Amino acid sequence: MVRRLCGEFMENGDGFLSRIRSALRKTSEKISISIAGGKVDNRLLRGLEETLILADVGVETAERLVSGIAGRKFSSGNEEEIKQFLANEISALLKPYESDFFQREFTTIPHILLLAGVNGNGKTTTAAKMAHIFKKSGRRPLLVAADTFRAAATEQLAHWAEKIGVDISVGREKADPAGLVYGSIERAKRENHQVVIVDTAGRLHHRDDLLAELGKIKRVAAKFDPTAPHCTILVLDGMTGQAAHHQVGTFLEKVGIDGLAVTKLDGSAKGGAVVALTQKYKLPILAVGVGEGPDDLRPFRAQEYAAAILG
């Protein structure tokens, strides 16, 4: 049985739906325009397909959705019926990629989470928000500032740690991140932290270095426990659209990832990217970012997301 550790957290606060709905308004308005009149003919189908492709749901998925409509009888002139049909279809496509990430029992303690991704995608912010969620559900987190390359990165995470009241492990500037991670895991065992959240560097121009460094961090964690890191999470910026695909491909191949966290959905007009990414890479969406505050990280809900795309 799954313990609903974060149940309270998830029901509280303003809705995920209202946050992303305003961001996705452009997409949903365009969909509304493309199906205006509700008369299913070639013009409507072509217009809708184009709108879906422009919203980044991916060409194949757009084709599939549109042929689903083409092959169905709708009572004429009913836009709402088409919208409802699309919402159900998109929700069904996304449903397998929901996750119980925040409620999951930790099989090994400390549970080790590794956050990776390109600079600016929201790793540090997401690490802090995750720590905040775990703390609220009664599990002591330890944040690890393994982006030792830039002093500012450590300061940023330290600032968050103070703000949300959780422990943090920092190293000297330019210290070996893998060494810091090892020391942090030992500290977590000593001080009874149940979850260790490792924030890493994401400098793009040293990509090979960076990927090698992530590999080293993973090996060091595995020395302590062969199943660690228990979850390697790629943090993506929901506003980047197509570029995100390249990032997922690279990290999957070179580092190995278990799931995605998609940030900035509160500002992403091209919300279809989540649809395309899940269909292509079959990775769960562990969390979504809907703002810059500590409470602005949410579980991903397929139905709510589909509803927001359709307005």
Choose between 20 and 87: whose C-beta lies nearer to ligand GDP: 20
* Residue 124 lies near Mg ion (rule: CB under 5 A): yes
- Of 73, 121, 51, 65, the residue nearest 93 (C-alpha): 65
- Of 73, 60, 62, the residue nearest 27 (C-alpha): 62
* Residue 200 lies near Mg ion (rule: CB under 5 A): no
Shortest distance in whole angstroms from residue 120 CB to Mg ion:
8
- Of 150, 133, 253, 136, the residue nearest 206 (C-alpha): 150
> Any residues with CB less than 8 A from the CB of 182 and at least 6 apart, and which?
220, 221, 223, 224
Choose between 122 and 271: whose C-beta lies nearer to Mg ion: 122
Choose between 49 and 199: whose C-beta lies nearer to ligand GDP: 199
> Any residues with CB less than 8 A from the CB of 159 and at least 6 apart, and which?
none
117 binds, among ligand GDP, Mg ion, none (CB under 5 to 8 A by kind): ligand GDP
Which H or E element spans position 168? strand 167-169
Please report, as ranges, the residues that interact with ligand GDP according to CB under 6 A: 117, 119-125, 202, 235, 263-264, 266-267, 289-292, 296
CA distance 188 to 141: 9
Using Cβ positions, the residue closest to ligand GDP within the complex turns out to be 289
Shortest distance in whole angstroms from residue 156 CB to Mg ion:
6
Shortest distance in whole angstroms from residue 16 CB to Mg ion:
24
Instruction: Show the binding pattern over residues 104-123: x = contacts Mg ion (CB under 5 A), - = does not.
Output: -------------------x
Choose between 124 and 278: whose C-beta lies nearer to Mg ion: 124
> Any residues with CB less than 8 A from the CB of 190 and at least 6 apart, and which?
none
148 binds, among Mg ion, ligand GDP, none (CB under 5 to 8 A by kind): none
Q: With CB under 5 A as the contact rule, which of the stretches 33-41, 45-53, 82-90, 153-161 interacts with Mg ion?
A: 153-161
Shortest distance in whole angstroms from residue 266 CB to ligand GDP:
5
Please state the φ and ψ torsions of residue 231, each to the nearest 5 degrees. -155, 120
Count the residues in the chain: 311
CA distance 278 to 273: 9
Q: Which residues bind Mg ion (CB under 5 A)?
A: 123-124, 153
